[in-house]
């Protein structure tokens, strides 16, 4: 895997900008965050361990599993293959990878099996439980494209068309794993937030309140909604303030989260740009 280019010369920048400028993007963004919050609420205790590293490892397993089926790689998701990517992307080392894989197995998201082509090789494979969540994640992301340009039926297709799901996983996954395209890494402030336990559900809840122009939820309500601890939520909010992504009043209430909303908008648009360019094979958006 090669290291991604600098953001200045990144191949996704132009399409990301086109998506951000779309006259329906604000509407689509609001619908997206509401759907994502509902989805993460259903994940329950996974939100405690569902840090970006856990999600990265899950995505790597999914990619190699589908790429093996498609004949693009041999064996699938071996430990050494996953570790190599994590080290190249400076995400973690061997101990952390083993821990994440073990936790995901205990939670029923991964299983370990022998490679069909070589019984000496142990590989990790997604369970049906993980595959369902992967489908849901891609469906929610692609639903934004449906809101921007109705008619593609991308959300429905990813839920019902196994071949389309394979295309998404192998093409967009290959762009990340093989070509080194980065989604969240070019934005270190938000990357640091969603790396923390409870970071994503906390930050997206605060961003959603800002978008809807309502009071930000309390740490207690966020913790209860996503089944994470109040201390985790408070730690995330402290980090948000430290990085100037939110502003708090003297009594600790969040009164502005505009910088946080900006970064979440960038991440959504950038992920969509990845699908537009590498899955749908379009050079511009809208077409």
For the stretch 9-38, pLDDT in tens is 678 999 999 999 999 999 999 999 999 999
Q: Write out pLDDT tens, residues 240-252.
A: 999 999 999 999 8
**Helices (DSSP H) in the chain: which residue ranges?**
13-20, 25-43, 46-49, 52-69, 79-88, 94-106, 128-148, 154-160, 162-177, 188-195, 199-212, 219-226, 230-242, 258-274
Mean pLDDT, the chain, whole residue set: 89
Nearest to 184 by CA among 46, 53, 22: 53
Task: Give the pairing type, strands 118-126 and 247-248.
Answer: unpaired
Average pLDDT for residues 233-237, to the nearest whole number? Answer: 95
Residue ranges of the domains in the chain? 1-50+130-287
Token pair listed for 200: 């994503």
CA atoms lying within 13 Å on the CB side of residue 280: 21
Higher pLDDT, 20 or 59: 20
Q: Which long-range contacts (CB under 8 A, 24 or more apart) does 136-141 make?
A: 136/39, 137/39, 138/165, 138/168, 140/32, 140/35, 140/36, 140/39, 141/32, 141/268, 141/271, 141/272, 141/275
Beta-bridge partner residues of 125: 111
The answer to which of 27-36, 49-58, 114-123, 210-219 has the lowest mean pLDDT is 49-58
The pLDDT of residue 45: 64
For the cut 90, the answer to whether the pLDDT of residue 59 exceeds it is no
Average pLDDT on 193-206 reads 90
Confidence band, pLDDT 50/70/90 cuts, at residue 48: low
Tell which residue, 225, 220, 232, 205, has the closest CA to residue 43.
225
Report pLDDT for 4. Answer: 45
Task: Give the tens place of pLDDT for each residue, 138-187.
Answer: 999 999 999 998 888 999 999 999 999 999 999 999 998 888 888 888 99
Residue 223 in this model has a pLDDT that exceeds 90? yes
Least confident of 35-49, 87-101, 123-137: 35-49
**pTM of the full structure:** 0.87
């Amino acid at each position: 895997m090669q290291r991604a280019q600098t953001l200045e010369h990144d191949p996704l920048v132009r399409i990301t900008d086109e998506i951000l400028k779309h006259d329906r993007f604000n509407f689509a963004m609001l619908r997206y965050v509401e759907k994502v919050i509902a989805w993460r609420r259903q994940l329950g205790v996974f939100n405690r361990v569902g840090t970006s590293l856990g999600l990265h490892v899950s995505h790597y397993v999914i990619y190699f599993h589908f790429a093996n089926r498609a004949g693009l790689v041999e064996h699938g998701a071996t430990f050494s293959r996953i570790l190599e990517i994590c080290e190249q992307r400076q995400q973690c080392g061997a101990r952390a990878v083993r821990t994440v894989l073990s936790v995901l197995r205990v939670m029923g998201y991964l299983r370990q099996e022998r490679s069909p082509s070589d019984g000496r090789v142990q590989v990790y494979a997604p369970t049906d439980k993980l595959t369902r969540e992967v489908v849901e994640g891609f469906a929610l992301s692609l639903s934004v494209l449906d809101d921007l340009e109705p008619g593609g039926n991308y959300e429905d297709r990813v839920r019902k068309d196994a071949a389309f799901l394979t295309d998404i996983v192998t093409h967009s996954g290959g762009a990340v794993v093989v070509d080194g395209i980065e989604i969240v890494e070019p934005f270190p402030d938000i990357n640091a937030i969603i790396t923390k336990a409870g970071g994503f559900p906390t930050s997206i809840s605060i961003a959603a309140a800002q978008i809807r122009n309502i009071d930000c939820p309390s740490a207690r309500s966020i913790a209860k909604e996503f089944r994470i601890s109040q201390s985790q939520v408070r730690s995330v909010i402290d980090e948000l303030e430290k990085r100037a992504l939110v502003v708090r009043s003297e009594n600790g209430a969040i009164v502005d989260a505009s910088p946080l909303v900006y970064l979440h908008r960038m991440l959504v648009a950038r992920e969509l740009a990845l699908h537009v360019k590498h899955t749908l094979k379009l050079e511009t958006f809208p077409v």
